[in-house]
Amino acid sequence: MNNKNNLAPHEMLELRELMDSNIVGVKKLQANMKMIEDDELKSFMEHCLDSKKENINSVQNFIESNFNI
């Protein structure tokens, strides 16, 4: 779609699914991080957590810049 403020309904659903998936992932990682004792695994999980948070911020920025929110 060329119109800056118009997304097709399926595109809005995709954005919502991306947000939901990343939010659930962040919550799961944060909850499980407390139980992890292995330093290498904990480091990997922290990297995944940071990545999911960046994804959430990217989607939020996209929404804000395209819908003047």
The full length of the chain comes to 69
Tokens of 55: 């994804």
pLDDT band at 1 (very low <50, low <70, confident <90, very high): very low
pLDDT single digits (tens) 18-55 = 999 999 999 999 999 999 999 999 999 999 999 999 99
Is residue 56 situated within a structural domain? yes
Amino acid at 7: L
Structural tokens at position 16: 């919502």
At 37, give phi and psi (nearest 5°). Answer: -105, -25
Does residue 57 lie within any of the structural domains?
yes
Domain count across the chain: 1
Residue 47, domain member (yes or no): yes
